Chains A and B, each alone.
Chain A
Amino acid sequence: MTGLPLIAVVGNPNAGKSALFNKLTGARQKVGNYPGVTVERKSGRMSLPDGRPAEIVDLPGAYSLEASSPDEEVTRDVVLGKQAGERLPDLLLLVLDATNLDNHLRFALQIIDLGMSTVVALNMVDMARREGLTIDPSVLQRELGVPVIETVAVRREGMDALKEAISTSLGAARRIREGAPEEFTAVQRRARTIAAAATVAETAKRRWTHRLDSIALHPLLGPLIFVAIMFVMFQAVFAWAAPPAEFIDARFADAQAFINATLPDGLLRSMLVDGVIAGVGAVVVFLPQILILFLFILLLEATGYMVRAAFLIDRLMARVGLSGHAFIPLLSSFACAVPGIMATRTIEDPKHRLTTILIAPLMTCSARLPVYAIIIGAFIPARSVGGGIGLQGLVLLGLYLVGIVGALVAALVLRHTVARGKHQGFMLEMPKYQMPHIRDIALGLWTRALIFLKRAGTIILVSTIILWALLSFPQARPGESQLDASIAGKMASGLEVVMRPVGFNHEISLALIPAMAAREVAVSALATAYSIDESDEAKAEQSLTAQLQGRWSLPTALAFLAWFVFAPQCLSTIAVTRRETNGWRWPIFMVLYLFALAYIAAGATYWLAVWIGL
């Protein structure tokens, strides 16, 4: 898109930048990365009132040009024209929260002092009015020396005037200011003076955020509400996801039946039915669960509750040497450790951040759900333990808890050994509560669904086909099991020597190899293996559940579950850890300590189960 004028949206976190960006660009957005750093680059196209197109880029929120995180560094470097992979913007669109003027003006003054073409969007003026604040934009415009437009981004208010101002200011002369920037405290005081001058009236109205907080942060009610929300969230992941998951499952079964009926028996049919459909289908079935989990996380973030949860949990995290800062990345890790690990960038203390990265894979991510769900479904009886609580759900809850407890213990140990350091504090802006915007949430969910399906279509599809090939050749002689005769079977036999002591059988050893790419591949690998192994066609169409029930003992199944609580079987997580820690040292450490824990946990579970006679 080079050649187009470039507009950069800048502002404090929580100023409503992204909502404004979404309104200016619509759905035509491109998400990429800046070279060398893991900061997202969100860009899109807008058309100016005179019909000219412009590229618009949403920069990470920043408090000041004195950057204290990789995100803030990108913002600083872009506006200074020093960021690799980005040209110097032609215009800066500065977004200010009208209800938080004194604070946001400080960064605004630093930006305006750069001397580039700048337009200010005085955002959330509706909320300011509701809080009894009257701000005179003309005073602000005079004091700042740049156009100031009142906007309510979430309701499109002021968008036309804003586009007009951008159009007029584009092409105005610009210069990069030379010399030392003004001293920070001086800027801060100037910001407060200007904010006071622009504020025409201020009635002391208690904001409804405060009223909500006196409930949400209440010493007793607060934690209860927190636990209730977490409970509803994990409950919903299972209850709501069942009907759509069954629907998807049925469609994949239809596809298998269709191919079985149309194609002649042979290699192609086997590859499609046993490889592609059995493998990919076994994973895509979990799309509804993953989306529901992300829906909750996106809602918690958009409403502002996430920070409250971090506040409530901070003291507990402090016990293991962490803080409330670690809560947000860890909660995201329940969906997927990759965005979770990327979210640790907001943690400034390097040792604290490292610890959070190293324990993030212990949060039960959505890729484990396929594994847990299939094993629990096959081996744990669906009976009630009283009070409407099912045994299956209880086991699942137990697996989540083991992961959490494991993570906390690991954090404590890490903070006293490899990641030793002074306890870090907890300092966080608590944004106002907001109604989430359906469009923004839908956009976020859509992105997640695409990422998941892309994984299913690439990593999982490819590893499934390779596994199918390794399992299908060489062809077994009559009387010999296809599983034992195949290349994959021979490879698994090698691994089985190590895994036998913790109760794993030949097929598990086999499934663990491709599952190194992603945990859920274990399920598709088992499905493919049993599908190929079964010479009897009627039996081959049996569900994976029935196959497992016939072939695994209960202690083996339990050991398999315990293994996946800890095992770092996910290439994406290892890759993102390498990127975020700038080297191989920590990802290697993480893989080793987690495999060690997995092996011990699986072994202990297996022998305990055998001992008590399960």
Chain B
Amino acid sequence: MLRLDQLPYRTPATVTAVAWDALTPTEARRLRNLGLDEGVSIEALHGGPIGRDPLAIRIGRMMVAIRRAHAETISVDTAS
């Protein structure tokens, strides 16, 4: 069990839990709109030039940029 920000690049994983309460309602809605949900496949692809922040990730089939701080709220599992 890892957090998304700890997941090595290009390692497909599955979202096991999202700490929705740690996000503001706007942030939570926006992440849901971008396809984030428990059970979707996810992958970290690239990191920004400074402090590897933000992160470019794949949610389902869509590529999305999010900050590291938000990636910390997403728990993932690489087992499947």
Contacts and interface: CB of A to CB of B under 8 A. Distances in A.
A213 B64 CA distance: 12
Given A315-B50, A425-B70, A102 B65 contact: no
Contacts of B29: 66, 68
B61 A311 contact: no
A348 B54 contact: no
B48 A315 contact: yes
A68 B30 contact: yes
Contacts of A427: 27, 30-31, 34, 64-67, 70
Interface string B21-65: 000101101111111010110000111111111101001111111
Contacts of A430: 56, 63-65
A99 interface: yes
A270 B16 CA distance: 78
Nearest to B47: A219
B30 A429 contact: no
A310 B56 CA distance: 12
B48 A314 contact: yes
B20 to A, nearest CB: 10
Residue of A185, A222, A311 ringed by the most chain B CB atoms within 10 A: A311
Contacts of A348: 26, 30
A220 interface: yes
Interface in A77-114: 99-103, 106
B69 interface: yes
B11 to A, nearest CB: 14
Nearest to B63: A430
Given A100-B62, A213-B46, A427-B27, A64 B51 contact: no
Contact of B32 (A188, A222, A307, A432): A188
A307 B66 CA distance: 12
A315 B26 contact: no
A16 B53 CA distance: 29
Size bin of chain B's contact surface: 35 or more
Contacts of A184: 32
Nearest to B33: A63
A401 interface: no
Nearest to A107: B33
A575 to B, nearest CB: 29
A64 B35 CA distance: 11
Nearest to B30: A427
Contacts of B66: 425-427
A106 B60 CA distance: 13
A222 B67 contact: no
A127 B23 CA distance: 35
A315 B51 CA distance: 8
B30 A315 contact: no
A426 B67 contact: yes
Contact of B45 (A210, A222, A316): A210
Contacts of A223: 49
Contacts of B64: 427-430
Given A209-B63, A315-B49, A426 B35 contact: no
- Sort A-B residue pairs by CB-CB distance and give the 9 closest, nearest first: A63-B33, A315-B50, A217-B46, A430-B63, A103-B35, A428-B65, A219-B49, A102-B60, A425-B67
Given A311-B48, A315-B48, A431-B63, 9 more contacts: A63-B33, A99-B61, A213-B46, A219-B48, A311-B56, A314-B67, A316-B50, A425-B27, A430-B65
Interface of A: 63-64, 66, 68, 99-103, 106, 184-185, 188-189, 192, 209-210, 213-214, 217-220, 222-223, 307, 310-312, 314-316, 323-324, 348-349, 422, 425-432
17 contacts: A63-B34, A68-B33, A102-B60, A189-B37, A218-B46, A219-B52, A311-B54, A312-B49, A314-B67, A426-B66, A427-B34, A427-B66, A427-B70, A429-B62, A430-B56, A430-B63, A430-B64
